[in-house]
Structure 1
Amino acid sequence: MDNQNDVIEQQLFTLLRRTQAIHIGTASGDVELERSSYGILCLLADEGPQRLGAIAQTFRLDPSTITRQVQTVVRLGLAEKSVDENDRRASLLELTELGAAAVAEARDHRREMLDRLLAAWTPDERAEFLRSLQRFNATVEKWIEHGTPT
């Protein structure tokens, strides 16, 4: 590799592959969550009911893609659509009790796996990793929102 950015790019791709393995390896419970379904359900758990357009914008996906993914979580009984009282033309998506339980169980299982994966790391190493990951994500967000990472 020529420089650090080459290695970083390679490591990001490796992380992407490993993240998929973690997703598959942390499936548990009665409901098998696809990665896209898990993302939508976590958004609803963290931020409450969402308009479909807001979900599409959050994930930077075409609304038709989000519509298909939302249909899946609704069909599984993990979320339900309702009319947005502020704009009756729009729909809101919110978690059902089953969806909230599925997210909680999946998150618990993933956090247990992270505990095992990072068991040999010191608290300082974990804190450094967390700070760097948060900074990287914030930089990417600025780039997406403003076209510049600064």
Structure 2
Amino acid sequence: MLLSRHQVLGRHERDHERLERSAYLLLSRIDTQGPMSIGQLAEAFGLDTSTVNRQTAALLRCGLAERVADPDGGMARKLRITDEGGRRLSGHREVNRSCLARIVAGWSPEEVRELEDVLVRLNRSAEALEGRYWPRTEDDGGGAACRPPAPGEPAPPTA
């Protein structure tokens, strides 16, 4: 809760640029995975399609996303981040980073790495429990971190 409260303090830095939580999450997923349909977004977040439809409608109204034909030739139209959406997402992430940097400013590099390792492990454990894996582009080939290990397969590295 304290971390969340501290993040709110960062809103004063660029309040008019801050994204709503749902916009941030949707844009982050599309940014990571590429254009996605409303159905794909609903499945990825475990939400009802009507909920995601309302949230994406807000993104479209604000010019943060646009509808495009499926790049893979499918029937469903997909949502893609606009240049403005990418700029706003990048700005939001930078404010988050600067807030976190202030929190750990007095920490050693080893302590920061330890926190990073534990947070990665926490996120992956939550994903495994929920059965929904966030796509990643990591040095270990990316895909291994996005799914649970097969029986007998070693778990992916946590950093």
* Structure 1 runs, 4 residues or longer, greater than 4 Å off: none
Aligned pair 1:25/2:9, yes or no?
yes
Q: Which amino acid aligns with 2:10?
A: T
* Inter-partner Cα distance in structure 1 for 2:78 and 2:59: 13
State how 1:44-123 maps to structure 2 within 5 Å.
Answer: 44-84=30-70, 86-88=73-75, 90-123=76-109
TM-score, normalisation: structure 1: 0.77
TM-score (norm 2): 0.73
Contact 2:64 2:85 in 1 (8 A): yes
Residues 40 and 55, structure 1, Cα contact 8 Å, conserved in 2: yes
> Larger helix proportion, structure 1 or 2?
1
Name the % identity: 32
| Aligned residue among 33, 41, 45 for 2:27 | 41
Specify every segment of 5 or more residues in structure 2 that has no aligned partner in the other structure, as ranges. Answer: 133-147, 150-159
Q: What corresponds to 1:8 in structure 2?
A: none
Instruction: Quote how far apart the aligned CAs of 1:65 are.
Output: 0.7
Q: Distance between the aligned counterparts of 2:127 and 2:121, measured in 1?
A: 10
Q: Which runs of 5+ in 1 are unaligned?
A: 1-13
Count of residues in correspondence between the two structures: 131
